[in-house]
Amino acid sequence: MTHPPQGYREFRRGWPIVLASMLGVGLGLSPLPFYTAGVLAPHLHAEFGWGMGQIFFGITITTFVVLFAGPLAGFLAARWDTRPVALGSLGLFALAFMAMALNTGSLTQYYLTWGAIALLGAGTLPITWTRGVNSWFDERKGLALGLTLMGTGIFGVVAKPLTAWLIDAFGWRGAYIGLGLLPLVIALPVAFVLFRNTDGDPQAAATHREPEGLTFAQTLRSWRLWLMAAAFIPISFALGGPIPNMENILRANGFAKEQIIQLTPFIGLSALIGRLAGGWLVDRFWAPAVAMVILTLPGLSCWLLAQGQFGFGAALLSIFLIGFAVGVEYDLMAFFVARYFGMRGYTQTYSLLYVCFSLGAGFGPAVFGWAFDRSGSYHGVLMASAVGLVAGAASFLALGRYRVPASAAPALA
């Protein structure tokens, strides 16, 4: 009797985990504020007179909070399992995001609300969801992670036009409430029904009962960890800075409102394509080489956008390359941790790398906004981002071969 391939059996058993995780990631802390901030920023500026740098500093606030909230969520997921942490965080995150509608013009209140969003929403980060997915998949780990993190791309396609529609229909306060309802009425019920830990499936539990790999203490002594950490900071800065500022980058270069609405959704669409392509590629090719190619190309985007005068086609190409790379970055991080260090200390290791990634992505939007407030141009910060992308992506080539799991060593020998 012919048995179906292991990869097929994994997806037949684990597809509910992937679907629930995809919605949890896509409507969680990672993409929801990030993709909508650029659309809401002009309305906050008009209402309260805040500068772009002040508005986007809210995203930087989330970085400071995630520095300890992200690892804390990972620790709780490892101690209590992923399900209760992820479900509780989804509901609290939704309520905190809707609280943005209560702002009365106080920057202090605005920043405190951002802090609450990050603290309560840390359990919706990929730290938790990818832990669950990695526990269910081995043969098709890269594709499963790509499908899971595809949620950010799906939301990215609709986020900006949806936010613009909500603002036109209900005002910016209504937009915050409408966006906050998404995780509450979509992601939370689906995750409650479909997401479960491996101990609920005897076959999966038998396969993954004893995680292999390095302990977190052993991982901390690995130079590969610190190379990854150093590389992800400039990469995340260069990819995270332009996206919330993209509306203003295009507006500053003479694009009409209608053209901006046509162009910016391609960030999410290309991220969606990047999720699928990235997961497929890293399952079949050496992941550091895949990373170098995909993460270097947005350097061309930054260079094109820095020129100051570019047409619709150049803008579309730039947006596509940036979005495609954004679609791959989280997949690569999760894949690198699993392949180079194993699953034994996965949660803590991923949390540490995510913190480093958040440093760049969190400061990027505010630094881009401050650069524009000061000089009226994004030229300098875009050129610096192009250099950072190339240098960071190329450094992954030094990682070398994947770690050989102990169970596979006798067969290889």
What is the pLDDT, as a whole number, of residue 278?
Answer: 77
Nearest CA-CA partner of 366 in 37, 43, 54: 54
Residue 146 tokens, joined: 């790509």
What is the pLDDT, as a whole number, of residue 211?
Answer: 64
The verdict on residue 293 lying in a domain is yes
The verdict on residue 5 lying in a domain is no
* Residue in this structure with the two tokens 């300890």, named with its chain if needed: 68
What is the pLDDT, as a whole number, of residue 99?
Answer: 96
The verdict on residue 4 lying in a domain is no
What is the average pLDDT value for the chain, to the nearest integer?
84
The verdict on residue 6 lying in a domain is no
Say what angle helices 107-121 and 82-98 make with each other, to 10 degrees: 160
What is the pLDDT, as a whole number, of residue 409?
Answer: 32
More confident residue, 309 or 389: 389
Task: Give the confidence band of 5 by pLDDT, cuts at 50, 70, 90.
Answer: low
CA pair distance 335, 339, nearest whole angstrom? 6
pLDDT tens-digit readout, 192-244: 998 886 554 545 544 444 567 888 888 899 999 999 999 999 999 998 888 88
pTM of the model: 0.70
Instruction: Calculate mean pLDDT across residues 336-355.
Output: 83
Q: What count of Cα atoms within 13 Å lies in the side-chain half-sphere of residue 162?
A: 18
Instruction: Say whether pLDDT at 410 is over 50.
Output: no
385 Cβ contact partners less than 8 Å away, ≥ 6 residues apart: 234, 237, 238, 241, 242, 299, 302
Residue 96 tokens, joined: 């905190």
The verdict on residue 205 lying in a domain is no
Q: Quick one: DSSP state of residue 402? A: P
Lowest mean pLDDT across 237-241, 297-301, 329-333, 336-340? 329-333
CATH of residue 28: 1.20.1250.20
CA pair distance 272, 147, nearest whole angstrom? 9
51 Cβ contact partners less than 8 Å away, ≥ 6 residues apart: 45, 369, 373
Instruction: Say whether pLDDT at 6 is over 70.
Output: no
Say what angle helices 287-296 and 265-284 make with each other, to 10 degrees: 160
The verdict on residue 147 lying in a domain is yes
Cβ atoms 272, 154 nearer than 8 A: yes
Instruction: Say whether pLDDT at 170 is over 80.
Output: yes
CA pair distance 277, 260, nearest whole angstrom? 26
Cα-based torsion angle of the residue sequence 96, 101, 107, 112 in order, rounded to the nearest 10 degrees: -10
The verdict on residue 43 lying in a domain is yes
Instruction: Say whether pLDDT at 113 is over 50.
Output: yes
The verdict on residue 2 lying in a domain is no
Q: Is 342 helix (H, G, I), strand (E, B) or coil?
A: strand
Task: Give the confidence band of 261 by pLDDT, cuts at 50, 70, 90.
Answer: confident
Domain of 79 in residue numbering reads as 13-198+221-402
Task: Give the confidence band of 406 by pLDDT, cuts at 50, 70, 90.
Answer: very low
CA–centroid distance for 25 within its chain: 8
The tally of domains found in the chain comes to 1
CA pair distance 185, 164, nearest whole angstrom? 20
Lowest mean pLDDT across 30-39, 148-157, 332-341, 392-401? 148-157
Nearest CA-CA partner of 123 in 74, 187, 185: 74
